[in-house]
Every structure is written in structure tokens, then in C-alpha cells.
Copies of this chain bind each other. A is one copy, B any other.
Amino acid sequence: MTTIALDGMGGDHGPSVVVPAALATLSDEPAARFILVGRREQLVEELRRCRGHESERLRVHHAPEIVAMDESPAQALRTKKASSMRVAIELVKQGEAQAAVSAGNTGALMATARFVLKTLPGIDRPAIIRNLPSVRGHAHVLDLGANVDCTAEQLVQFAIMGSILVSAIEGKERPRIGLLNVGQENIKGNEIVKQAAELLRASHVNYVGYVEGNDIYTGDLDVVVCDGFVGNIALKASEGLAQMIWQFMRQEFSRHWSRRLAALVAAPALRALGRRVDPRLYNGATLIGLNGTVVKSHGGADVVAFQQAIREALSEANHNVPERIGRELGLMLGAGQVA
């Protein structure tokens, strides 16, 4: 049995998304248990609305406070000690849960997770890692915004953590790691990237070299490493472009009656296309590098998307990702391979 603590109050929709997502996942994942953390009354009311009920596999854990979506991380950390977010993470710390999932304020979640769980030995700062679709399969990209300035050593830590995560949850022996740059030639890039490339060539990860922005989506890589500034902007630019294409598509398929008719005929193909790039099926970014699994769901996630974040947390908890990273880093620290 794996137990996941769910921040029941986080995100734009709070219990009205988290509770039905937990109920739906209960039947899909018979070896999972959930703790719904938040205001008992609201959570129980939502359970009733969804025709669910508390059980051994679905407990409600009361936490009276809520971290607002626009609250500063420092303030949340200082003043919201009984928040649903904080209590969910503390359940992981206490070993009552193996992972926490929250759709709340990213900055507050990162600050609270670092404070409560601490980073693994050998890791300067946690990173945000997420799975993105690619032409063949998918690729994990990190950091997606936790660290706007990174040293070469941090980029190497990201590569090691990404490699262990992919090898743990996908069973790949030697995940292919690329370092994001503005070209593939050795002379390209800034000093930090060049230094990181040198360290990665000397490391034991399966480093394939510099890669460019489009390589995120080609399927040739398992892990793409970059600093959080670049990663966040590349991800959001991709999201913006995808939204633009969908909007143009909707416009073109509704221009006149003949186009609307064509949309009906094309609907099965367009729906199939939509499923392959549906961002909800890639929801769930992990705060990696901590003594415990914490997954951040998109704030606007619906039930389908939040379920995906829960599945991501379950998979990482089941495969003991933080322990594996800790163990491997411990060995490397012993051998003097990381600072």
C-alpha cells in the first residue's frame, strides 16, 4: 500500500477537483491510499456530493488554513503552519504518506517542501521536472523554473537526478541525457553550459551532448537539462504556441457551414490528435532533490489532470525515487564525484 497526501484546498478549484480525482483514482489504483488534507467540513461535504465516503483507503485529515495562490512563499512559511499544503508535506516527513500532491502556489510549495523535507545530501537546491510529449514517446525536462541562476555543478546534479528518475520509473538502463544549448557544436553556449558539458562528459550518466530547443520534442532524449530560467520560458513558449495553433484550428473549422461540416467529419482524427498533445495527460511536475516526493499539479487542473498528477506521485513513490537519488548521490559523495 502506498499512501498519498493530497492538498485538498490548493489550486483554482480546491476540493471540487481534488476529491473527485481521489475517488476516481481509488478504483483505478487498488494499492493506493489517500489522505485528503484540508478543512474537514468542506472535504466531507464534497465527498458527499460525489457520492463517496471516508474509508480506510480515503481518510480526511483536518487542516484549517489555506495558502493563497498569490501569497509570498516567505509569508506562507511563517504564518500558515496549519495550512493544507504544509500539513500534507508534514505527513510525508512523518512517514504517514509516501508522497504529497498539491495544485497550490508553486513558490510556497517549493519553500515549504524544502523547509519541511530538506534537500538530499549533495543537492544544492531542488529542481522542477516534468514529462513532455515527443514525436516518439516523451522526455523529462528540468529545471522548469525553481532556479533562475544555476552553476555548472547544479546542472550536473539535475542530470543525475533526471537520469535516476527516468531509470526508476521507466526501467530504462541508460537514459539519454541532453544539455540544452543554442547549437550542437562544442564552441556554442555560455561558460556555465560549457563547464557543465565537461563535467557531464566525465560523469557516469549517459550524456549525449548539447541539444537544441526542438530536440525536446523529437523523442531522441529521455532527459533534457537546463537552468530554470531557460526551461520555464521554453515550456511556456511551447504552451503558448500550442494554444495559438488550437485557436487557429477552431477558427478555421468554424468559418462557414462547409467548414463546420468538415469539422464533424474530421472530429475523430482531431480528437485523437488532441489526446496526443492534451496537456492534462502531462500534468504533474515533481520537486526533485528532496527527502520525499512532492508533485505540483497545475493550478487550473481539472479532475482528469489532477488524476494524472496523483498517478505521477504514486509511480515515483512506488519506485522509491528520492531514496534511489539519495543512495546514488551518497555513493558519489563517498567517491568524491560530486561536491
- Listed in ascending order, the chain A residues whose CB lies under 8 Å from chain B are 72, 133-135, 145, 148-149, 180-182, 187-191, 212-218, 226, 228-230, 232-245, 247-249, 252-253, 255, 258-259, 261-263, 265-266, 268-270, 272-273, 276-277
Contact = CB atoms under 8 A, between A and B. Distances in A.
Instruction: Classify the secondary structure of A's interface with B.
Output: helix
A268 B266 CA distance: 12
Given A213-B234, A217-B241, A259 B269 contact: yes
Nearest to A273: B252
Nearest to A242: B241
A262 B252 CA distance: 15
Given A134-B244, A190-B229, A234-B234, A239 B214 contact: yes
A238 to B, nearest CB: 4
Given A182-B145, A213-B235, A265-B265, A241 B244 contact: no
Contact of A242 (B182, B228, B230, B245): B245
Contact of A241 (B188, B241, B258): B241
A158 to B, nearest CB: 16
Contacts of A214: 236-237, 239-240, 243
Given A182-B232, A214-B240, A190 B149 contact: yes
Given A232-B213, A245-B245, A189 B238 contact: no
Of A191, A243, A270, most buried by chain B (CB within 10 Å of CB) is A270
A316 to B, nearest CB: 24
A135 B249 CA distance: 11
A248 B228 contact: no
Contacts of A255: 269, 272
A240 B213 contact: yes
A282 to B, nearest CB: 12
A283 to B, nearest CB: 16
A328 to B, nearest CB: 28
Contacts of A269: 249, 252-253, 255, 259, 262-263, 266
B243 A217 contact: yes
Contact of A272 (B188, B216, B252): B252
A325 B213 CA distance: 31
Contact of A247 (B135, B244, B263): B135
